[in-house]
Amino acid sequence: MAGKVKWVTDIEKSVLINNFEKREWVQVTENEDWNFYWMSIQTIRNVFSVDTGYRLSDDQLVNHFPNHYELTRKDLMIKNIKRYRKELEKEGSPLAEKDENGKYIYLDFVPVTFMLPADYNLFVEEFRKNPSSTWIMKPCGKAQGKGIFLINKLSQIKKWSRDSRTSTYKLGFCRFCTVKYTPSTSELDNMFVHLTNVAIQKHGDDYNHVHGGKWTVSNLRLYLESTRGKEVTNRLFDQIHWIVVQSLKAVAPMMNNDKHCFECYGYDIIIDDKLKPWLIEVNASPSLTSSTANDRILKYNLINDTLNIVTPNGDIPDCRWNRSPPREALGNYQVLYDEEQAQSENAERELRNRSGQSLGSKVTKGGAGVRPGAATWK
């Protein structure tokens, strides 16, 4: 399509603007005709608002889905994952299988979670089963560690009693606290022990401005392979990929799959001492601020690879495109799940079953057994 892409953003970050300028796209204002708008989650509400919103044309693309909050609000994420589990149980899906203790074998990837104040009585019941445990309280709609605190007594929370194609970016990073973790109750209020957010850690005395308290995922992998073994490490990353796919499938029925939209989510996953990953939350607008030189390179490449996928060859968007890029165009993205391929395989399996042929089940090893599933989840 002839012409230059006209872009606008309300997020003034160099990793964005440098990528737009590299492609020789033309900057315009939001009141002019635009093709590509990288916007904040506050702005997306206005774009799709019944009262103030407007109809997007086929040559316009934005970086959020209308109701991304079904995954990125902590309370809705948990609600949707719980609903997903129940639906799979009703269907008799092997994914909903439980162990002898009643825990999900393949879908146990979020910590025990309650929404307060609605679930207060259930929370009290669970708390009294393990009165020595520590719980983390996280506001549903805030970020950067704001409003988070830890409790180990009920009295501390009395005020609360009132089409998908999925890819993961291989060049992520892991964050660390500047103070060594301790479960001691005397450190419950020390956020430098419990929260890895840069917005918190950068104020600590031991914060390192060179590496920013971060490792690249590749360095984390090398460390784990050398200390815990390659097989265990591979299983960990396989489980992380599984979490990403299953969390997105959990919210898929609730999402407005608007053809003008794409999304770059930021997954927060914590790894316990047994190398089991747990999903903490999903961010709709992962930070594009660069706190170190390596940080800037990683995020620049992330935006570059993202733009190569959603605007092939840097052309003006056309929402009638088939947005399935060739493998060489993915850059550092790795396809985890292809719904079109999955549907094709399911149709083939159904056809063979009807004809009396056994297709055989392809399986992937999980942490608690052998996880059933099609090859297309990864």
pLDDT, tens digit (0-9, with 9 covering 90-100), for 310-352: 988 888 888 876 667 777 888 999 888 887 777 666 666 665 6
Q: How far apart are the C-alpha atoms of 143 and 266, rounded to whole Å? A: 12
pTM: 0.76
Pair of tokens at residue 19: 């990528």
b or e along 307-337 (b: 16 or more beta carbons within 10 Å of the residue's beta carbon)?
A: bbbbbeeebbbeeeeeeebeeeebbebebbb
All structural domains of the chain with their residue ranges? 1-64+288-333
User: C-alpha dihedral over 300, 301, 302, 306, to 10 degrees?
Assistant: 110
In the structure, what pLDDT confidence band is assigned to residue 362 with cuts at 50, 70 and 90? very low
In the predicted model, what is the mean pLDDT of the chain? 82
User: Which of the 8 DSSP states describes residue 35?
Assistant: S
pLDDT reported for residue 149: 79
Which has the minimum average pLDDT: 107-111, 273-277, 315-319?
315-319
pLDDT, tens digit (0-9, with 9 covering 90-100), for 188-208: 777 777 777 777 777 777 777
In the structure, what pLDDT confidence band is assigned to residue 144 with cuts at 50, 70 and 90? low
Q: How far apart are the C-alpha atoms of 128 and 370, rounded to whole Å? A: 34
Q: Quick check: bond before 372 cis, omega within 30?
A: no
Cβ burial, residue 361 (10 Å; 0-12/13-18/19+) = exposed
Q: Is the pLDDT of residue 143 over 80?
A: no
pLDDT reported for residue 353: 63
| Residues, the chain | 378
pLDDT reported for residue 351: 59
Which amino acid, residue 240? I
Which has the minimum average pLDDT: 48-62, 89-103, 133-147?
133-147
pLDDT reported for residue 269: 92
β pairing state of 61-62 and 135-137: unpaired
* DSSP letters spanning 253-294: GGS---TTB----EEEEEE-TTS-EEEEEEESS-----SSHH
Q: Is the pLDDT of residue 373 over 60?
A: no
Stretch 20-32: mean pLDDT, rounded?
A: 95
Q: Which of 243, 235, 272, 225 is nearest to 370 (CA)?
A: 235
pLDDT reported for residue 358: 42
Q: Is the pLDDT of residue 31 over 80?
A: yes
Stretch 71-83: mean pLDDT, rounded?
A: 91
Q: How many CB atoms lie within 10 A of CB 197?
A: 18
Stretch 242-261: mean pLDDT, rounded?
A: 90
Pair of tokens at residue 109: 């990837």
